[in-house]
Amino acid sequence: MNTHPESAPVSSVTLNNIVKRFGTFTAVHKANLEIPEGAFVTLLGPSGCGKTTNLRMIAGLLDPSEGEILIGGKRVNDVPIHKRNLGIVFQNYALFPHKTVAENIAFGLKYRNVPKSDVARRVQEALDLVQLPDVGHRYPKELSGGQQQRIALARAIVIEPEVLLLDEPLSALDANLREDMRVELKRIQSKIGVTTVFVTHDQSEALAMSDKIVVMSAGRIEQVGTPEEVYNTPASEFVANFLGASNILAGACVTKDADAALLDVPLFGSVPVPADKAPAVTAGASAKLVLRAEKLVLMAPGSDTSGMVTAEAVVETVDYQGQTVRYFLRVGDRQLQAINMIDGRPFAEGQSVTAAFRPQDCAALASA
Amino acid sequence: MEGRFNMGWTLIRGWAVLVYIFMFLPVAVVVLLSFNASQFGNFPMTGFSFRWFVELAGNEAILRAFRTSIILGLLTALISTTLGVLASLALVRYRVPGANAISTLLIAPILVPEVVLAVALLLFLNFLGVNKSFGLLLAGHVIFTLPFVILVVQARLVSIKRDVEEAAMSLGASPVQTFFQITLPLMMPAVLAGGLFAFTISFDDITGTLFWKPGGVETVPTQIFAMLRNSISPEINALGTVMIVMTVGLPLLGAAIARAMARKSGT
Ligand SMILES: Nc1ncnc2c1ncn2[C@@H]1O[C@H](COP(=O)(O)OP(=O)(O)O)[C@@H](O)[C@H]1O
Ligand SMILES: [Mg+2]
């Protein structure tokens, strides 16, 4: 596909110091991002953090206030949307209601000098790819939500876009369908290998689908990493809490060497955190221990806790969730959260337990 | 308690029926008498006949008025619709400074009594030293019908989601191509309705027309008005019937077309 292999761009989309202001409000602060060719990258963050704004700037639907956007190594700040060759899938499908499904999919081909004989074939291939081979003659309103979203995807990829942009494409679908579409979307993306920027506020969607997750908060990029990295080694308290529940214990780093940072935290005492999960902490400075709720295990008092850090706790609230149960515990003057698989019977409210975790399951942050 | 409540409603219903009779009985009378065989527009009718319609078709003055009204109506519809679509696009799709003020100004002609508008436009042209002309008459009709077009088209445009247009542009359509491929087809029912409104309003307008028309030019309503000053000829009943059929029939036809289009596109 690439006709200039010697100058193949390493990055398909690049944001250089992008700032976007709406009046006096800054929606995106100095965003820097490199999206590699063929990658599935997710912008993840709570509603209003600037995900859509970023995506619309890449698309050319918004002009950045400052900074540069590069697509395929070329600066596109001054290239209007219709010349950027991008596929966009919107939350509410945005199909053309007055055109049939086939006409919808063929729309982008009209502007690409595709011979008439090829148009029908490519439309059919796209329909096959999204597994709706027989709906070409129908109008969008005659399809279900999930089907409409597949057609929107087919319409976006049939033009062989340089980048595929998806803004919360699954959030208008109901829960079961969303799971199916998630798998389907990922299958299609890997099959055609198109560079994809996906926007969602749903952390499980992001963790399941992405090669790389960009966690955003209040217009700032908090962390960029693989799902494992952002999950296991959050770069900030925000990331730790946004990707599942975490307990944050403020303490200090006593010593640090190549293997581990030794943290001293209230309730649990000394915790040796692996050095690679405590990149920012320095010896002698204050630090925070990130303890994921899934890693804090409840045990009957007197159980074998070798290799674990423990504290005595009392169960305050039991939130039964089927396969798992969420506990709120009282440990000293703190309330902590634990999410455990149910093994036999869950602990009861008011019960005294031992709360334990393995230090290698923790991460540490420098205190701000 | 229940009985009193029902009685109240019965009274209101009865009143409503009386109001409708008061409003539509004259219309019915005109239509009936237009088929009357006798010279005199009186009851009882002496027989059923199309003779007054035939005489209409032979009346040069009336035919000329018809031609004028139709040309005026079509031009008004064309210009009003074009301007109305452009204004609606600007107001809904682009951030124009003072959009609210402009919007109010464009809609204002509906709120101002027509006589006031008619006199104002005339005085303004006097002030500019421009003579009355067909162009002025057309301008008056455009100003007067524009608000209706804008109201109808704007309502439709608001319901067309911006992301449909954005999708078209992302697929390679320029803004102009997007307008003709996506926005205009989706707006079409409203554009047609607006055009029909404009034509119908222009076609049966009399107040403004009396002020604006140059000497010697008559539209159908001003022609009827002129004829009434001499006598109440049965021809007027026939002409009235033609007017009623046009001003009631055209919007109905338009609504039917719009419905058929909407059914096809599913919007
Ligand atoms: N056109 C606009 N004018 C003013 N503020 C805007 C505009 N678009 C977005 N914003 C603001 O920018 C912030 C980020 O919005 P957005 O990118 O849509 O968030 P997200 O997609 O992450 O939910 C929000 O606070 C939003 O209110
Ligand atoms: Mg958004």
Same domain, A148 and A252: no
Nearest Cα residue to A185 out of A201, A203, A160, A206:
A206
In angstroms and rounded to an integer, the radius of gyration of the C-alpha atoms of chain A is 24
Q: Give the neighbor-by-neighbor strand order of the sheet with A352-357.
A: A297-299, A352-357, A309-320, A324-331, A334-341
Cβ of B166 and A81 within 8 Å? yes
Residues A66, A69: Cα–Cα separation, whole Å = 10
Position A94 scores a pLDDT of: 94
Let me know if residue B2 belongs to a domain: no
Position A321 scores a pLDDT of: 85
Let me know if residue B21 belongs to a domain: no
Average pLDDT over residues B43-63: 78
Same domain, A205 and A325: no
Least confident of A126-140, B44-58, B80-94: B44-58
User: Which amino acid is it at B264?
Assistant: K
pLDDT in tens, A326-346: 999 999 889 999 999 987 788
Let me know if residue B36 belongs to a domain: no
Same domain, A202 and A283: no
Let me know if residue B8 belongs to a domain: no
Position B265 scores a pLDDT of: 59
Nearest Cα residue to A277 out of A216, A219, A358:
A358
CA A181-A185-A187 angle, to 5 degrees, is 115
For residue A278 and ligand 1, the question of a CB distance below 6 A is answered with no
pLDDT in tens, A214-266: 999 999 999 999 999 999 999 999 999 999 889 999 999 999 998 999 999 98
Cβ of A108 and B161 within 8 Å? no
Average pLDDT over residues A291-295: 93
- In chain A, the percentage of residues whose pLDDT exceeds 90 is 78
Cβ neighbours, 10 Å, residue B185: 18
Position A5 scores a pLDDT of: 44
Let me know if residue B155 belongs to a domain: yes
Residues B207, B224: Cα–Cα separation, whole Å = 13
Position A56 scores a pLDDT of: 95
CATH of the domain at B105: 1.10.3720.10
Same domain, A206 and A271: no
pLDDT(B8) > 50: yes
Among A232, A263, A290, where does a domain finish? A232
Let me know if residue B112 belongs to a domain: yes
In angstroms and rounded to an integer, the radius of gyration of the C-alpha atoms of chain B is 23
Let me know if residue A311 belongs to a domain: yes
Same domain, A255 and A119: no
Place of tokens 């926007």: A199
Same domain, A47 and A186: yes
Under 8 Å CB pairs connecting chains A and B tally to 75
pLDDT(A24) > 90: yes
Between B220-230 and B60-93, two packed helices, what is the crossing angle to 10 degrees? 140
- In chain B, the percentage of residues whose pLDDT exceeds 90 is 29
Let me know if residue A305 belongs to a domain: yes
pLDDT(A368) > 90: no
Number of domains forming the structure of chain A: 2
pLDDT in tens, A343-361: 778 889 999 999 999 999 9
Same domain, A181 and A296: no
Average pLDDT over residues A33-56: 94
Same domain, A149 and A251: no
Nearest Cα residue to A79 out of A96, A99, A98, A57:
A57
Cβ neighbours, 10 Å, residue B165: 21
Number of domains forming the structure of chain B: 1
User: How confident is residue A6, by pLDDT bands cut at 50, 70 and 90?
Assistant: very low
pLDDT in tens, A50-89: 999 999 999 999 999 999 999 998 999 999 999 999 999 9
pLDDT(B133) > 80: yes
Position A270 scores a pLDDT of: 92
pLDDT(B104) > 90: no
Q: How far is CA A325 from the centre of its chain?
A: 25
Same domain, A204 and A269: no
User: How confident is residue A4, by pLDDT bands cut at 50, 70 and 90?
Assistant: very low
Residues B162, B94: Cα–Cα separation, whole Å = 11
CATH of the domain at A125: 3.40.50.300
* Complex-level ipTM: 0.84
Same domain, A252 and A228: no
Cβ of B170 and A139 within 8 Å? no
For residue A44 and ligand 1, the question of a CB distance below 6 A is answered with no
Contacts of A252 (CB under 8 A, 6+ apart): A263, A264, A284, A285, A286, A287
Q: pTM of the predicted model, to two decimals? A: 0.82
> Is A137 touching B (CB cutoff 8 A)?
no
Ligand lying nearest the CA atom of residue A27: 1
pLDDT in tens, A200-218: 999 999 999 999 999 999 9
pLDDT(A8) > 70: no
Mark residue B260 as left, alpha or beta (left: phi above 0; alpha: psi -120 to 50; beta: remaining): alpha
pLDDT(B3) > 70: no
- Phi first, then psi: what are they for A216, rounded to 5°? -120, 150
Position B41 scores a pLDDT of: 61
> Is A92 touching B (CB cutoff 8 A)?
yes
Position A297 scores a pLDDT of: 93
Let me know if residue B16 belongs to a domain: no
Three-state secondary-structure class, residue A165? strand
- Average pLDDT score, chain A: 91
Torsion B179-B180-B181-B185 (CA) sign = positive
pLDDT in tens, A297-332: 999 988 888 889 999 999 999 998 888 999 999 998
Contacts of A282 (CB under 8 A, 6+ apart): A253, A256, A366
User: How confident is residue B29, by pLDDT bands cut at 50, 70 and 90?
Assistant: confident
Q: Which residue has better confidence, A327 or B27?
A: A327
The best mutation among A52, A55, A200, A222 to test binding of ligand 1, ranked by most ligand atoms within 8 Å of the C-beta, falls on A52
pLDDT(A1) > 50: no
CATH of the domain at A288: 2.40.50.140
Cβ neighbours, 10 Å, residue A87: 26
Least confident of A108-117, B3-12, B40-49, B166-175: B40-49
Let me know if residue B26 belongs to a domain: no
| Domain with B133 in it | 52-265
Residue B10 Cα, gap to closest chain A Cα (Å): 44
Let me know if residue A98 belongs to a domain: yes
Same domain, A148 and A41: yes
Cβ of B171 and A59 within 8 Å? no
pLDDT in tens, B106-123: 888 888 888 898 898 888
Least confident of A8-12, A174-178, B67-71, B238-242: A8-12
Let me know if residue A188 belongs to a domain: yes
Let me know if residue A240 belongs to a domain: no
Same domain, A206 and A94: yes
| Domain with A146 in it | 5-232
Let me know if residue A237 belongs to a domain: no
Q: Distance, CA A91 to ligand 2 centroid (Å)? A: 9
